[in-house]
Amino acid sequence: MKKKKEMPKKERPREKLMEKGAKTLSDQELLAVILGRGTQKEDVLSLSKKMIKVIDGIGLDFQAKEIMEMDGIGEAKATLICAAFEFVRRRIKPEGMKIKFPADILPLIRHYGDRKQEHFICVSINGANEVMTVRVVTIGLVNKSQVHPREVFADVISERASAVIVAHNHPSGQLNPSKEDRSITKRLKAAAEILGLNLLDHIIFNTKGYYSFAEKNEI
């Protein structure tokens, strides 16, 4: 992505939001609008891109001190981001969202579809088929995420969930499962059964569509 100053005015995040609406902005652009400006060393879009990686790695329960470890993020920016996330979290929580079909969780994860690395995501479900939490388990290489059942189910067990939906984006744009995708699904299914959990689905997605193992009767 170009630096903000190199963009035509109508393509800049704030102007784009005003003209086309917030839904048309990428995560990087949205965060750039919240930050407002970058630093002497770094453009706001570059800064927001780095911050997204940090937040994705930590999860939505990040603390101001954790993002202040980034170069260029002081107390003012860190507290602004934390306050903005908490404000929205209190009004639009995934917790309690009831799902009828596994693919109902797509609105909660679709914003990861444009990432350049694979993000492996775990959605915890309670006995009433309600979403408890959505978390990024691992962030992989360009087209490969290393996933271990231990990492996927550790928090799921502690929060006493009864079912799980896993998902990951395909940066390549292809939605068909790879040999590794099928292998990981089998490993997670077997581990879930041992732990008394129900693996409802493994969803592969991008910005345009998705592939559901459950809908294909492959899980």
- Radius of gyration (Cα) for the chain, nearest Å? 18
Tell me whether residue 26 is in a domain: yes
CATH value at residue 181: 3.40.140.10
> What tokens were used for 179?
């040999």
Give pLDDT, residue 125: 94
Q: State the Cα torsion 168-164-151-122 to the nearest 10°.
A: 40
Residues 6+ apart with CB under 8 A from 151: 137, 138
Give residue for tokens 């006995």: 127
Letter for the amino acid at 124? S
Whether residue 70 sits in one domain with residue 11: yes
From the CB of residue 161, how many other CB atoms can be counted at a distance below 10 Å?
Answer: 21
Whether residue 16 sits in one domain with residue 109: no
DSSP for residue 19: H
Residues 6+ apart with CB under 8 A from 78: 64, 65, 67, 68
Which domain-ending residue is among 89, 118, 151? 89
Tell me whether residue 155 is in a domain: yes
Whole-angstrom Cα distance, residue 211 to residue 99?
17
Whether residue 110 sits in one domain with residue 33: no
Whether residue 111 sits in one domain with residue 82: no
From the CB of residue 121, how many other CB atoms can be counted at a distance below 10 Å?
Answer: 24
Share of residues in the chain with pLDDT > 70 (%): 89
The model's pLDDT over 115-145, given as tens digits with 9 standing for 90+, comes to 888 999 999 999 999 998 888 898 886 556 6
Give pLDDT, residue 94: 65
Give pLDDT, residue 177: 93
The number of residues making up the chain comes to 219
The model's pLDDT over 176-205, given as tens digits with 9 standing for 90+, comes to 999 999 999 999 999 999 999 999 999 999
- 25 lies in which domain range? 4-89
14-18, 51-55, 150-154: lowest mean pLDDT where?
A: 51-55
Tell me whether residue 141 is in a domain: yes
Does 110 have pLDDT greater than 60? yes
Whole-angstrom Cα distance, residue 62 to residue 20?
30
Tell me whether residue 180 is in a domain: yes
Tell me whether residue 217 is in a domain: no
Tell me whether residue 41 is in a domain: yes
Cut 0.85: pTM above it: no
Does 1 have pLDDT greater than 60? no
Task: Indicate the number of domains in the chain.
Answer: 2
Residue 97's pLDDT band (cuts 50, 70, 90) = confident
Give pLDDT, residue 92: 64
